[in-house]
Chains A and B, each alone.
Chain A
């Protein structure tokens, strides 16, 4: 059981100024998850008639990408996992600083909740394949080499949480975009739209106000799903291809 000093970002709304607020939580078990610790804190705030801290969460099992939080200066905290899967035993020391993802393209909605719809708009710009509806195709109708399937799957593991943007000094969304582009670039289904996909996704990414990649590699280190910056190489190659205009 440990007591913690919590320093947390409070902000009433996007256009209101924010500030760090201090709270104390007591009797926290090492086996609690980070979000459970926040639940305990929020409960005590509510009992005291105060406004609970707003933070994003949904599945709490590391698959949906809703949870966020920069914990002691690290996106999703010190482990390679999502905040919801982080345990209190991984936290060093008793002072915890909790802040929202910070990026111009992720405006704060309230406290630690940020607006990540810019990611959705990037996906809408090309992160899909167009198929004619009808009967579901036979599962093995499209034979895909095992290695390609594996690489595509590794990229597809991205849950779109935005930790890459939060960790990047340039608030660049390259890792996110590259995961989607490289996922579809490795599959035959993605082939016909590959040029338009990469061009329009990159365009949207720039329009949304994300920064540009300067290869710090921090995104990869922060990613709870260990998406590799190799995807960014693939994204760049796809982009060069689309621009230079070769047909393959």
Chain B
């Protein structure tokens, strides 16, 4: 249940993060001002970052634990092999999935990919350990706009970014509707709309965030 709650909190964060980023379309000043504003929050910003880190860490920790215990519950053909439970198949004939969606089957994998990407993303855009550090404009503002546009001109960065957004979308698609189910919200007439909401959230995130590198490619920004 905590996984569901932390997951939903993280969805809120990525949504807010995306809305902030989309200000890139409003032009240089707007995005830079938004970034500067965030930075000027000082302790509040660090508080939020810390909170986010806790939520994120908890989500990762709990899901890894869950995956392990679920693998153990499966029971294994070769019970005393050290790999038992990690070698997926417990039936000799490949198990045939009847309904499980791809996104539901690879949650832990997509989740771990997201973890890796987040580390990379922070190193890149927040701590400037990767790529050139951003310029400071004449009036002393960090030129976030330039940094984003320049980075996405690099096809390696933009393509990996878009791939990541697809992975994120898949994760959120199953994650969101699954979280509603876990919280007991998906009963009776709320079933269909909530499943749809999961899909809609995923599409919104993937398309919204990917629109930035696409716009850079097309020379719109």
Chain A residues touching B, range: 35 or more
Given contacts A218-B98, A236-B181, contact A70 B91 (CB under 8 A): yes
Q: Tell me if B's interface is mostly helix, strand, loop or mixed.
A: loop
State A104–B90 Cα separation when bound (angstroms).
11
- Specify the chain B residue showing the minimal Cβ separation from A220: B99
**CB distance B181 to A233 under 8 Å?**
yes
A142 within 8 Å of B by Cβ?
no
B94 on the A face (CB < 8 A): yes
Q: B residues 11-58 with Cβ under 8 Å of A? A: none
Question: Are A232 and B181 in contact, with the CB atoms below 8 A?
Answer: yes
Cβ of A105 < 8 Å from any Cβ of B?
A: yes
Q: Is the CB of A234 within 8 A of B184?
A: yes
Contact code string B164-194 (vs A, CB < 8 Å = 1, else 0): 0000000000100110011111111001000
Q: Is A34 an interface residue (CB 8 A)?
A: no
Once the chains are docked, how many angstroms separate the CA of A154 from the CA of B42? 57
B178 is contacted by which of A99, A211, A215 (Cβ under 8 Å)? A215
Q: Is the CB of A217 within 8 A of B99?
A: yes
**A208 CB, min distance to chain B CBs, angstroms:** 9
Binding site for B on A (CB under 8 A): 7, 9, 18, 20, 70, 72-74, 97, 99, 102-107, 167, 169-172, 209-218, 220-222, 229-230, 232-241
Task: Contact check, A238 vs B184: say whether CB atoms are below 8 A apart.
Answer: yes
The residues of B that contact A7 with a CB separation of less than 8 Å are 92
Q: Which residue of B lies closest to A208 (CB)?
A: B73
Total interface residues on B, using CB and 8 Å?
39
B100-A216 in contact (CB<8A): yes
Interchain CA distance A201-B183 in the complex, whole Å: 17
Q: Are B97 and A218 in contact, CB atoms less than 8 angstroms apart?
A: yes
Given A102-B74, A215-B177, A234-B184: A20 and B99 within 8 A (CB)?
A: no
When the two chains form their complex, are residues B98 and A211 in contact, meaning their CB atoms are under 8 A apart?
A: no
> Are B70's CB and A217's CB within 8 A?
no
Tell me which of A20, A232, A238 contacts B92 (CB under 8 A). A20
Q: Name the B residues within 8 Å of A213 (CB-CB).
A: 182
Chain A neighbourhood of B73, CB < 8 A: 103-105, 170-172, 209-212
A170-B74 contact in complex given A73-B94, A215-B181, A216-B105, C-beta closer than 8 Å: yes
How far apart are the CA atoms of A155 and B77 in the complex, in Å?
32
